[in-house]
Structure 1
Amino acid sequence: MLRFRTSVGTLLAIAALAIATTGNTQERARGGRGQAVPGKEAPHPPKVDAEAPEFELMNLKNEPISLRKLSKNGPVVLLVLRGWPEYQCPVCSRQVAEFLSKKAELKKAGAQVVMIYPGPAALLAEHAKEFQGEIELPDHFHFLIDPDYTFTNAWGLRWEAPRETAYPSTFIVGADNKVKFGLTSTSHRGRESAANVLEELAKLQ
C-alpha cells in the first residue's frame, strides 16, 4: 500500500510555494474536480448564521478542547482535514503549512485555529503525531483528533467512500457560537486559503 509520509514540518519549508499554487488551483465545492468516489450522501454542514454544533475532542497531549471554551475568547477557525484515509493527505499538509505561515496575522485577528484530524480510532493518535511531525504549534493553534468520526458525523461532513474520511472544510465560528463562514469541498482540493479567512475575520471586527 502506498502511504504518503510528508509531515507538516517538512512542508513548512515550502509553505510559500504552497500558498502560491493553492491560490491558483483552488477547486471549490460549487465547481470542484478530482473526486475519485462520491460519498454515500452529500455533505450537509451547518449553514451560515446557524448555531455551531458543540464538540469536545482531545489534542495530542490527551487534553480535552471544546468549541464553547475557545469561542468565548473570539472567533474560531475550523480546518476539517481528511485525517487518515489510510495515508497522509498531502493537500492537507499544504493547507496546514499555509495557515501556520500566517500565524501572526491570525493571532492579531484574535482567532483560535482548530485543525481536526478524523479517522478510524485505531492508531489515529499515532498517525496524527506523524502528520504534525516535529512542529510545536503556537498557543492559538489546536490539533485535535476525531476518532471514529464523532465530530465529522455531527457536522454532516462524513465522506463515506473507500479511502475517504471527511469532506475537507473550513468554518469560522463567532463568539456567539454561530457559523459566520463556511466552505466545504467535495474533492480533495478546493480548500479555503488563509488569506481569504483573514478577510472574513476582518469583516467580523
Structure 2
Amino acid sequence: MNTFSNLAGVLLLLLAAPALAQTAPAPPLTASALAVGTVAPAFKGQDAAGRPVELRQLLKKGPVVLYFYRGQWCPYCNKELSQLQDSLQVLTAKGAQVVVVTPETPANITQTVAKTKASFPIVHDRDLTIMKAYKTAFVVDDATAKKYLRYGINLKQANGLDQNILPVPATYVIGQDGKIKFAYFDADYRHRASVRQVAQAL
C-alpha cells in the first residue's frame, strides 16, 4: 500500500510539473549592455517601406551600425537621427550600413522620418525580438509612464503594446565577422553616441 501511494505521488508530481512550468512568471525585462567582442545576435525585420532587413545579408556588404531609439515623441531621438542623417556619408564612406530599430508603430515611424528626413532603414520591432536579443528593452516604471501620459505620451498606444516598454537608446558597431566592435549604452536617454565616435570605431 505504501509503495502504491509513493508511486501515485511521484506520478502526480510528474503530471503537475509541465503545468507549473507553463504558469511560471516570465523573468523581469531589464536592460544591460552587450560586451565588445561578443557575437552580435542575428535579426530579421522590415523597414517602414516593407523591405527586408537582415543582419546576415547586410554584413556581406560591410560593417553595420545599429541604433535603437524610443519614438517620434522623444526630442533627443529626433535630434540624434537628424544628426545621423546629416552626417550619414561619414559612415557610408567607411563602408558601413546604418540600421535603426524602434518599438514604435509604423505610423509613428512615418512621423519620425518626416521629422528627421531619415533615409536609412528603420525597423519596427513589433514583438521586441531585436530589443530583447540586444538587451536594450526594459519596462518603464508606473510613475514615469504616468508622467509621460501627462505630457500626452501614451507608450502603450505609441508602440502598440500592452506594456510600457522602451529601449535604452544604445548604439552598436558590428564588424563583418559578426562581432561587436563598439558599444554605447547609457541608461540616461539624454546621452547618445556621436557620429564621430561611431566613425572612429569603424
TM-score by length of 1: 0.69
The one-letter amino acid of 1:144's match is V
Structure 1 residue 108: Cα displacement: 0.9
User: Any unmatched runs of 5+ in structure 1?
Assistant: 1-39
SS at 1:104's partner residue? helix
- Whether 1:146 aligns to 2:125 is yes
Whole-angstrom distance in 2 between the partners of 1:91 and 1:48: 25
SS of equivalent residue, structure 2 residue 110 = helix
In the TM superposition, structure 1's runs of 4+ consecutive aligned residues that sit over 3 Å from their partners are: none
Letter in 1 for 2:123: L
Instruction: Look up the match of 1:172.
Output: 173
* Residue from 132, 135, 143 that aligns with 1:156: 135
SS at match of 2:196: helix
User: Is there any run of 5+ residues in structure 2 with no aligned partner, and where?
Assistant: 1-27, 146-154, 156-164
Distance 1:136 1:64 in 2: 17
CA distance in 2, matches of 1:186, 1:42: 11
Change (3 A) 1:96 1:136: closer
Aligned residues: 152
The question of 1:127 aligning with 2:108 is answered: yes
Q: CA deviation at 1:136?
A: 6.1
Structure 1 segment 65-144 matched on structure 2, within 5 A: 65-83=53-71, 88-119=73-104, 124-133=105-114, 135=117, 137=119, 141-144=120-123
3-state SS of 1:177 partner: coil
Q: Which amino acid aligns with 2:185?
A: T
Amino acid at match of 2:76: V
Q: Choose which of 10, 15, 34 in structure 2 pairs with 1:46.
A: 34
- Cα distance in 2 for partners of 1:41, 1:60 equals 26
Deviations 1:108-129 (A, max 9, x none): 111101111214xxxx110111
2:66 match: secondary structure: strand
Normalised to the residue count of structure 2, the TM-score between the two structures is: 0.70
More helix by share: 2
For the aligned residue pairs, the C-alpha RMSD in angstroms reads: 1.7
